Amino acid sequence: MPSPYLRRAVQLFFILIFLTLFVATTYRGGNEVHYPINVFFQVDPLTAIGNILATKSFEGFVDFFLPSLIILLATIIIGRFFCGWVCPVGGVLDLLRPVVYGGKARARGAEGGLWLKNAKFPKSLKYYLLIIILIPTLFSVNLTGIFDPLSIAIRSLTIAIYPLFSSLSFSIFSWLFGFDLPVITPVTDATYGFLSRIILPFKQGFFALSIFSLAIFLGIIIAERIRPRFWCRYLCPLGAVLSIFATFSFLKRTPARLCKDCQDCSDNCIMDAFSEFEKGGDFLKGECILTEDCVTLCQKGRVENTLSLKSIRSRGGRSDIRRRYVITSAIAGLFVQPLLSVSPVRKLKKEGGINFLIRPPGAMDEAEFIERCIKCTECMMVCPTGGLQPDIAMGGLESIYSPVLVPRIGYCEYLCTLCGQVCPTDAIRELKVDEKKETVIGKAYIDTDRCLPWAHNVNCIVCEEHCPTADKAIKYHKWKEGDEPSTDGSPLKKPYVIYDLCVGCGICENKCPIGGRSAIIVTSMKEEI
């Protein structure tokens, strides 16, 4: 019987690994990623299933998703251990539960929690949600990443929590530096230097959907006040996948149901892994996450969890899944893809009418990109300029949270290939530097009504100076005798774009000195205009 502190130690270990790999994703000045930052997605069965269904292919499965198969096999052997011991979201929920309860005695079981104590929630809800997610995925609308707990955690950290942490840190250190005291300043300098090297980002991030992302993550935590592990019990689609496999595991619990003279197991189980006492109180193997609380808290010493081949035949108590709700969920899932298809945005995408949907270099064509992208925001985390932003449905609802380049916020660094290195599903292919230089993600055009030389006869060649291509993609018309001079009397230089040379990196738009909308704009059109 493992010590109750062992699971906490293991959970804390995996949380620290998760956070370490997350921080290692941030840009540190190099052009190579040296850490296995995608390992949690590699062991995520929901990500693997979603990509197989969406792409109708096992391509890359052995290279990348094989560890997820190992997790499934381990789940079949010992049960749903990932949720109780490894998952960083579950670990955070367990660690924060005393805080969420405000110091009150920890509530557990079917009626645990502080809110809605008499309400009954079906454990089958997560299976219905899984069906609603997977049905449209079959039709190439991959929604698994939106609801996957690992993607939710990375998104929340990338878009909201990490930028908030870095902003607060910068503000605090700026305030401390202002004192310039003999005792405080050396300590502040050393602390800031350490944090800058190890934790703080290279550049302060600013992202769309930050409040929305933070609200979702906080909602998962606050839901603990309704029931312990509310997200895991009733909503998590990854938990639903693992629960299905755990139902056929070797796990054997003795006794197989609640004792007639005692309900301690049910009262103390954070997953409420039993049917109702009035209906037999049967043990539900698929709901158990192997906390071993029932063993350690049993006052009579009756409970024992072992592994037995014979237990494969026994699936535990009867699930509360209902056929009519399964059918309803499948029908609801079937409606998702057609609803997205009739969106005017989808029509514009087919006709090439969305000019500002600029994908990262190496991104698959739009249809396959949407199939593969799990909206994990790893590419945004590693982007050195902060130019990659979560899409706010510019590419349709199926595109929300997927990466788009917003040059006015940050440009695509000419020699950078980091986004392709961190993408867990090959939605963004990894490019060599020489290949990246020639990869076209868009084309720039000059708005002559806003450009200083064109509209106001004021010399400005900022865009030409910053253009990184070997043979400048932006040049300027040479002044000839008789041409109109600039306002200061010097020869006027009017810039123009050579579309054959432009790769759409966006540095020209980013550096344009015109306030508001830039006078040179990059669009997603990759052909000559």
Domain boundaries, the chain: 4-154+215-312, 344-432, 443-523
Is the bond preceding 255 in cis, omega lying within 30 degrees of 0?
A: yes
For residues 304, 310, 313, 314, the Cα torsion angle rounded to the nearest 10 degrees is: -20
Neighbours of 528 (CB within 10 A): 10
CA distance 1 to 295: 8
443-523 and 344-432 share a CATH fold: yes
Neighbours of 235 (CB within 10 A): 18
Dihedral-angle region of residue 447 (phi above 0 means left; psi in -120 to 50 means alpha; beta otherwise): beta
Structure tokens at 297: 């808290």
pLDDT for res 312: 64
CA distance 30 to 192: 21
DSSP code of 255?
A: S
Q: What is the CA radius of gyration of the chain?
A: 27
Contact 233, 320 (CB under 8 A): no
**The CATH classification of domain 443-523, taken from the options 3.30.420.40, 1.20.870.10, 1.10.10.60, 3.30.70.20:** 3.30.70.20
CA distance 527 to 520: 17
Structure tokens at 347: 């029509």
Q: At what angle do helices 237-246 and 149-156 cross, to 10 degrees?
A: 150
Nearest Cα residue to 59 out of 368, 431, 279: 368
Mean pLDDT in consecutive groups of 10 residues from the start of the chain, 529 residues: 81 97 91 90 95 85 81 95 97 93 63 80 94 93 95 97 94 86 83 90 89 97 94 97 94 84 82 75 90 86 83 63 92 87 65 77 93 96 96 87 96 96 95 96 95 93 95 88 73 92 97 95 74
Contact 282, 275 (CB under 8 A): yes
Contact 389, 380 (CB under 8 A): yes
CA distance 330 to 12: 38
Dihedral-angle region of residue 79 (phi above 0 means left; psi in -120 to 50 means alpha; beta otherwise): left
pLDDT for res 352: 57
Contact residues for 413 (Cβ-Cβ < 8 A; gap 6+)? 384, 385, 505
Structure tokens at 65: 């998703």
Nearest Cα residue to 288 out of 307, 301, 260: 307
Nearest Cα residue to 148 out of 401, 362, 392, 393: 401
Instruction: Give all strands (DSSP E) within 312-467, no chain letters.
Output: 388-390, 403-405, 443-446
Range 344-432 has CATH code 3.30.70: yes
CA distance 125 to 140: 24
Contact 389, 208 (CB under 8 A): yes
CA distance 437 to 86: 40
Structure tokens at 439: 């990869």
Contact 11, 92 (CB under 8 A): no
CA distance 389 to 324: 41
pLDDT for res 529: 47
pLDDT for res 137: 93
